[in-house]
Amino acid sequence: MILTAVNIKLNKLGLVTLFISLVFSVNAQQKSIDVKYGFNKFDLGATIKHIQGIATISKINSDTDNFEYYNVKNPSTYKLFNVSPKSIRLGFVSNMLTVIYIEIENAIPVSKRMVQVENMLLGFEKLYGGWEETEPESPDIIFSQRIVGERTVITFNCTKAKNGMGDIFTYYSIPLMELADK
């Protein structure tokens, strides 16, 4: 409503100014994804020792040379928009937290699952700006979306409930992923 009132009073030059302020507003939202730079207590870039000081984690076998992976014990204590994760897996490169996988249970009634997913996606959107659709990387993924900041990417993969895998939210550190590729 405020924008409508402002629109009425502005001339052609004012409309250009209004457009520019809207662009800056969107960019400010997208940059807020980089301010948090992680999920809950898990800050991207943190060391394994730091994470061990705030959560109980256990190392898991990994088939990649660049990453060390850990599962977080008692993942339900780290809520994502009031939803208890089924599991949380942390990926470290050069002793720095680089990626956070948050698996949400999807073996629940479809109506409850759809409301849960919609609420979570809207929660992210309010905090960080709009989602963009991406191409699913697996036939087990129904749809895939992401929000991209300057240093952080959050992805969401809605999976088929029958494969035993939950829906996955993933936080990536862009600069640390580039380090992993070297």
| pLDDT digit string, tens, across residues 60-115 | 987 777 899 999 999 999 999 999 999 999 999 999 999 999 999 888 888 898 89
- Average pLDDT taken over every residue of the chain: 82
Write down the pLDDT at residue 89. Answer: 97
Calculate mean pLDDT across residues 150-159: 94
| pLDDT classification of 23: cutoffs 50, 70, 90 | very low
Candidates 78, 99, 76; CA nearest to 174 is: 99
**Vertex 117: Cα angle to 24 and 70 (nearest 5):** 90
Tell me the one-letter amino acid at 82.
N
Percent of the chain with pLDDT over 90: 60
Write down the pLDDT at residue 164. Answer: 73
**Alpha carbons within 13 A on the beta-carbon side of 129:** 21
**Could you tell me if 181 and 98 are in contact, meaning their C-beta atoms sit under 8 angstroms apart?**
no
Annotated domain spans of the chain: 36-180
Lookup: tokens for 112: 């409850």
More confident residue, 36 or 53: 53
Calculate mean pLDDT across residues 149-155: 94
Lookup: tokens for 1: 């409503």
Contact partners, residue 122, CB within 8 Å, separation at least 6: none
Tokens 């507003």 found at: 25
CA terminus-to-terminus distance, the chain: 50
| pLDDT classification of 45: cutoffs 50, 70, 90 | very high
Backbone angles phi, psi at 55, to 5 degrees: -150, 155
Cα separation, 92 vs 7, in Å, equals 49
Write down the pLDDT at residue 98. Answer: 96
Tell me the one-letter amino acid at 30.
Q
| pLDDT classification of 31: cutoffs 50, 70, 90 | low
Calculate mean pLDDT across residues 27-41: 71
Tell me the one-letter amino acid at 84.
S
